[in-house]
Structures are given as C-alpha cells and as structure tokens.
Amino acid sequence: MDRFRVVGGARLAGEVRLAGAKNSVLKLMAAALLAHGVTVLHQVPDIADVAIMAELLRRLGCTVEHDPRTASLRVDVPERPGHQADYDLVRLMRASICVLGPLVARCGVAEVARPGGDAIGSRPLDLHVDGLVRLGASVDTEHGFIVAKAPDGLRGAPVWLDFPSVGATENIMMAAVLAHGTTVIDNAAREPEIVDLADMLTAMGAQVHGAGTSTIEVSGVERLSPVEHTVVPDRIIAGTWAYAAAATQGDIRVRNARPEHLEIALDKLVTAGAAVERTEDGFRVVMDTRPAAVDVVTLPFPGFPTDLQPMVLALNAVAEGAAMVTENVYEARFMFVDELLRLGADIRTDGHHAVVRGRPRLSGAPVRATDIRAGAALVVAGLVAEGVTVVSDAFHVDRGYPGFDAQLRALGADVTREPDPVAFPS
C-alpha cells in the first residue's frame, strides 16, 4: 500500500497532456472480444484498471500486449474465447461486467462473477440483465456468477432503460451488434464514451446509429473484424486539472482535450471566477483570486459529471461563500466528505445534498481515499491546506490517473509517493 504526501500551499501552473479515457478504454478492450484476430488500441492510459482488464482478457484466451511507451495495446482474440470471468479479477473493477454482452453474443454463453469496484453506491446490474433478457438470453445467478446463455444466438428487440446507465447501454449495444435483427435502445446513455465505443464497433463492421442521442439503433451483422482505434481523451481527468487550477488559484493548459465534453463543468468554473480559454488542442484555466462558491447538480451527460463532484466539493471548501452540491447519480458519492471534514472543511450533508461553506484555507491531516475520484480530490484539497496532508490508499487513484503524482510535481506541487507504514485492506 502506498500513500501520497502532499505539502500545502502550491499554485499549480504549466501544461498537461491527456491520455485516453479510463471509462472508454476498458469497454473498447471488451469489444475486441467480438472479433477473431488482432485489435490495436492507441492512446491507452497506463493505469491499474487497464492491467486488470488485460489480465481478464488473457484468462479468456486472448494474447494482450500493452506498451506504455507508445500508449498502444494489442489484443489477439482466439476463434473461440473462453466465457468465464473469475471473481478474483472481477471483484477489483466493476467495469469487468462489460465482457458479459460481448461473450454471450460471440460464444452463446457468459459466466461473469458479480463485480466489485468503487464504494460509491449500489449500482445494481438489473438494467444489464433485463436488456440481455430482452435480446433473448436466459440469465441466472449461480454460485456468485451471472450466467447468461443464448445457444441459438441473440435476437434484436426494443429495449427501454429505466435510467440512462452507461454500463447497461454499452453491454446491450455490444450484445446487439451480433444479434439477429434490429435492436432499439431507448433512454440510452449519451456520454462521449458511448460514442467512442459505437465508432469502434462501426469500424469493425457493426451497424450502429444514434450514439450520443437517447435512442440507439443497432442492426445485427453476422461477423465483425478487428480494427485499430484511438481512445477518446479522458474528459474526467481534464476536468480534474481544470478544477485543480481553480482551487489552487493556478494556471493550467490541458492539451489533447475536448472542451465540448465538459461544457457545463467549465461553465461552472467561469461562474467561480476563472478565465477559461479554448485552445487549438484543448483549453486553459486561469484563476487569479479566491474562487466563488458554485452550486452544482450532477446528472447523466450532458449534465454535470458525477465523477467530478468530489472536485467541486474540494473547490467549494476553499471558496468565497456557500454552495449546495446535489448528487443525483450515486447515492454514496458523499462517503468521502468525512475525509474532507478531517481537513477542516465545513460541509453538511442531508441525503443527496451537501451544503459547503468555504474557508480561506484547509488544514493538513491524514486522510484516506475511498474511490478513484475522491482520492484525486483529497490530493487537491491537500494542496490548499496548511501543512502536510497524507492520503492513504493511493491505489484507488492509480486505477484512473496515470502518473498523477509526477504530473502534479511537473505543475509545481510538492507531492511524493511513499509506502504506507500503517496500511490496512480497504
């Protein structure tokens, strides 16, 4: 177990370049299972979750080679991949469930252990299961595994999602591309990562229309082919740097970014007093004064991203005035508020609302990351705290942020990584 040691008082300044999105690359790796042969992904982030997914694919019979120097990943899928994803890997990462759709579509059967991942809410799998059932699969739970079977193949059908779940939309879309007939997914998720997956599936020979809207139509085909594909830039990491610049009254240029994926989040920073400038290959955020508190309501895309909600709390904790942050996606996303309180933040929660009263500066203390985004937000909070903050369970941050501490040092922060002498399993 490692931890981050953060010395407060830094003003972040400089530039960063984004890698591909964690929330996209894992699904693209799963989509490679749909075609026999070699699929190559570019702009792949060097994060722990990619390593976990790579090992999961290896256990399904694939050969996987990841070269962090070139940010490329090669997946060689056999004619008949395995169909069982074991618990020891799936428990580490919820995105493992995204192999369910491709495996049942390609093999006629899939056995995937019920997943683990971040402790940010219940996130039931009902929508995934209901969608596959609508496509003709039989789905049961046996000995901790979700077992989906469609020995005669899947068949296209209308699918209505009660909530625009990203994971369910992706799983159903990947299952439908090899189904007989046409599938229409209504109330589909609209995130840029959905569009990225649809673009890769289309390049493989799938017929997918409407990605990025609330209705996606998939006409099944008999066979797909492997492709080369470049992963969309990570909008959540882009937003993390944007809010870190504002919180530390800094100046950060984010390169290889798509500001159109962060319109509401960047607009909130303008409200907080930052100057946000679009550049040729991304954007720049400059904050010269103490930020003003901003109200935020998280919603599915194109609303404010729930993954940036921890950064909003960190920003508001040192802002001028008071603000309300409302969480509408994951009910346990406020779990890390107790850690911010240890840093001296003034936050009160009531259900899915949090009222934050800003203080001029926080106070360094030992805290613990409870999930990927909370860990990054606690490091940023440590930068605007007096003294030293130690953030334990750095492995959470490693799952989503490549070289986070090194990038912070390049921006002028005093952040080091060290072994945690008192490490307990999470």
Give the model confidence (pLDDT) of 123-169 as tens digits.
468 899 999 999 999 999 887 788 999 999 999 999 999 999 999 99
**Can you give the pLDDT at residue 288?**
95
Residues 403/68, Cβ–Cβ less than 8 Å: no
What fold, for 22-230? UDP-n-acetylglucosamine1-carboxyvinyl-transferase; Chain (3.65.10)
Same fold, 2-18+233-419 and 22-230: yes
CA distance 86 to 145: 8
Q: Long-range contacts for 200-206 (Cβ within 8 Å, ≥24 apart)? A: 200/28, 200/31, 200/227, 200/229, 201/31, 201/34, 201/173, 201/174, 201/177, 203/227, 203/229, 204/31, 204/34, 204/35, 204/177, 206/177
Catalytic residue, from 2, 49, 88, 118: name it. 118
Cα within 13 Å of Cα(377), Cβ side: 32
Structural tokens at position 351: 């259900």
pLDDT-flagged residues of the chain (< 50)? 117-123, 425-426
Q: Are 233 and 256 in contact, with CB atoms under 8 Å apart? A: yes
Residue range 112-124, pLDDT digits in tens: 887 654 443 444 6
Catalytic residue status for 350? no
Distance in angstroms (rounded) separating the CA atoms of residues 400 and 263: 22
Residue 85's pLDDT is 83
Query: What pLDDT does 122 receive?
Result: 41
Task: Parse the chain into domains and list their residue ranges.
Answer: 2-18+233-419, 22-230
pTM: 0.94
CA 385 from chain centre, in angstroms, equals 27
CA distances from 53 to 9, 48, 60, 196 (A): 37, 9, 11, 18
DSSP symbol at 205: T
**Where does 207-348 have alpha helices with state H?**
235-247, 263-272, 309-317, 337-342
Q: How many CB atoms lie within 10 A of CB 355?
A: 14
DSSP state for residue 154 in the 8-state scheme: -
- Helix residue ranges, H only, 180-234: 192-203
DSSP state of 211: B
Q: What's the CATH number for 2-18+233-419?
A: 3.65.10.10
Give the pLDDT confidence score for residue 124 in this predicted structure: 64
